[in-house]
Amino acid sequence: MVTSITGRNRNEISTVHLVNSYCIPSLLYGCEIWSLNSSDYRKLNVIWNNTFRKIFQCCWRESVSCLFYYCKTLPLSYTTDQRKIIFIKRMQNCNITVVRSISTMYTCIGQIMSKYSVHSLHLHTATIKQCIWGHFIDASAINCNLCIY
């Protein structure tokens, strides 16, 4: 794990950056085409929550949504959905007919988009990311208010 490399006197933000840069891409490789149910999303979030608890040496019962907020990091369930939406957006913008026809077969994207109030695939990628971040903030606002001292 990255924490064994960074040592005892590690900078937590640097450790989060290393995990985001090296571990998460491997973990989520191909997630754009995964078919996930609520149990799968929960398992992904447990992995990420426990990683944050380990990095920041938190109690295993504590919520880490405040840490996500302050580190500008999404839970993995949000990240996988964001990657799916952006993947389909890019496929639809592709000039290859076969690729565009495959993207129309991806039926659950509408449900994922509506969950985050992403109204169109024609939005800029940054706008899609803002919608998803905003949904995360709204969903975790109560918990983060408790974290402010």
Give me the pLDDT at residue 5, please: 59
Provide the phi-psi class of 72: left if phi over 0, else alpha when psi is between -120 and 50, else beta: left
Distance in angstroms (rounded) separating the CA atoms of residues 23 and 50:
14
Q: How far is CA 123 from the centre of its chain?
A: 19
Work out the number of other CB atoms within 10 angstroms of the CB of residue 136.
Answer: 21
76-92 helix and 97-104 helix, angle to the nearest 10 degrees: 140
Give me the pLDDT at residue 147, please: 54
Give me the pLDDT at residue 80, please: 97
Q: Which domain holds residue 29?
A: 2-147
pTM: 0.84
Please answer whether residues 28 and 79 qualify as being in contact, where contact means their C-beta atoms are separated by less than 8 angstroms. Answer: yes
Characterize 102-126 residue by residue with b for buried, 16 or more Cβ atoms within 10 angstroms of its Cβ, and e for exposed: ebeebeebeebbeebebeebebeee
pLDDT per residue rounded down to tens, the chain (149 residues): 555 556 666 789 989 999 999 999 999 999 998 989 999 999 999 999 999 999 998 888 888 999 999 999 999 999 999 999 999 888 877 777 666 666 555 668 889 999 999 999 899 999 999 999 999 999 987 555 555 44
Residues ≥6 apart with Cβ < 8 Å to 144: 65, 66, 69, 137
Give me the pLDDT at residue 81, please: 96
**Domains held by the chain: number:** 1
Give me the pLDDT at residue 22, please: 92
Give me the pLDDT at residue 108, please: 80
